[in-house]
């Protein structure tokens, strides 16, 4: 088991290295060709998925079985989408809270850039479809499955930690970590990575559509000015009376509570539809193998996480 964990940890380091260095290298090579946010985003996603996919190919791994690429019922798919929409307010609140401390950075650039670069359909393809496929293959398909024999919660934590780290900025870290845990629950509820891809697509597509709806009537010059100037959550709250801020705090707590209650109720419907309630219950309770952290963590994983953290610190300082 320890040898397998060491291998997965080394792949975490290699994946991050290829993702970061490969992206910068290819951007430098094709700097005169790549001028749109979609092209840059696609290039980064290719670099992210490269190491895990090439490794599986070299080892003749059955990716359909390893990544759990399995069909699940349309009824379950509907409940998965409903559950995702119920969970979405939790992510919004987490995003707002993170903006009290960190700059928005990459997220704002990609979403606003998608409006400047083309149609809503292009935005959905490159911001929702492509990341849903590539990031799920890497984080749930490769890393969660790689860590899964160590116990459900440890595998969920590590795969979500890597998923959040791969976004390379502190603002997105908190809610993408939450999203990573939620995606694992959906994967286990359906026994299919297609479900986590559907969740990922739904969340990203909802964000793209929201941004296009907000800025579709704004011309490109005005939008560029809005994005360049920016208005942080801190600036908004600083201009409000204390009573208003307290009310907003209480309101967010209520929103999160209602969101979690609805998510739990709908998640039970997903389990009822797929018939995997008992399996998921046993996973969550830790009835399966539970390996100590000392046999999971290795220098390669520590270095990968330190490099991710270092990059995010530098990125935050540069904003």
Q: What pLDDT, in 10s, does the model give residues 24-35?
A: 877 776 665 555
Better pLDDT: 108 or 21:
21
pLDDT given at position 286: 80
Query: Worst-scoring range by mean pLDDT, 88-97, 261-270, 288-297?
Result: 288-297
Tell me what the pLDDT averaged over the chain comes to: 86
Please say if the pLDDT value at position 218 is more than 60: no
Query: Predicted confidence band at 51 (pLDDT cuts at 50, 70, 90)?
Result: very high
pLDDT given at position 238: 66
Rounded average pLDDT over 148-160:
94
Query: Which residue in 202, 208, 42, 43 sits closest to 123, CA to CA?
Result: 208
189, 270 Cβ separation under 8 angstroms: yes
**CA–CA distance, 278 with 32 (Å, rounded to integer):** 55
pLDDT given at position 113: 56
173, 165 Cβ separation under 8 angstroms: yes
Query: Which residue in 172, 175, 149, 187 sits closest to 274, CA to CA?
Result: 187
Query: Which residue in 53, 44, 52, 37 sits closest to 20, CA to CA?
Result: 44
pLDDT given at position 200: 97
* pTM for the full predicted model: 0.90
Better pLDDT: 181 or 34:
181
Please say if the pLDDT value at position 300 is more than 80: yes
233, 99 Cβ separation under 8 angstroms: yes
User: Which residue's structure tokens are 């307290």?
Assistant: 246
């Amino acid at each position: 088991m320890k040898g397998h964990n060491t291998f997965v940890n080394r792949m975490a380091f290699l994946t991050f290295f290829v993702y970061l260095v490969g992206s910068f290298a290819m951007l430098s090579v094709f700097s005169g060709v790549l001028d749109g946010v979609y092209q840059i985003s696609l290039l980064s996603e290719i670099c992210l998925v490269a190491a895990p996919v090439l490794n599986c190919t070299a080892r003749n791994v059955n990716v359909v079985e390893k990544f759990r690429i399995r069909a699940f019922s349309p009824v379950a798919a509907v409940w998965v989408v409903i559950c995702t929409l119920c969970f979405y307010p939790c992510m919004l609140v987490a995003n707002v809270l993170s903006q009290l401390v960190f700059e928005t950075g990459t997220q704002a650039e990609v979403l606003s850039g998608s409006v400047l670069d083309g149609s809503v359909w292009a935005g959905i393809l490159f911001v929702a479809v492509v990341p849903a496929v590539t990031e799920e293959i890497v984080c749930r398909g490769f890393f969660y499955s790689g860590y899964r024999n160590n116990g459900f919660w440890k595998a969920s934590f590590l795969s979500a930690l890597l998923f959040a780290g791969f976004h390379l900025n502190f603002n997105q870290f908190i809610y993408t970590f939450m999203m990573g845990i939620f995606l694992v629950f959906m994967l286990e509820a359906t026994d299919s990575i297609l479900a986590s891809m559907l969740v990922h697509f739904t969340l990203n597509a909802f964000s793209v559509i929201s941004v296009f709806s907000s800025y579709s009537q704004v011309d490109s010059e005005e939008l560029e000015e809005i994005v360049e100037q920016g208005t942080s959550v801190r600036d908004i709250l600083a201009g409000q009376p204390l009573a208003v801020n307290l009310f907003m705090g209480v309101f967010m707590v209520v929103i999160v509570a209602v969101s979690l209650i609805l998510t739990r109720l709908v998640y039970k419907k997903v389990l009822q539809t797929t018939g995997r309630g008992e399996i998921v219950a046993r996973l969550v309770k830790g009835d399966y193998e539970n390996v100590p952290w000392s046999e999971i963590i290795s220098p390669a994983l520590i270095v990968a996480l330190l490099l991710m953290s270092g990059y995010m610190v530098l990125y935050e300082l540069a904003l």
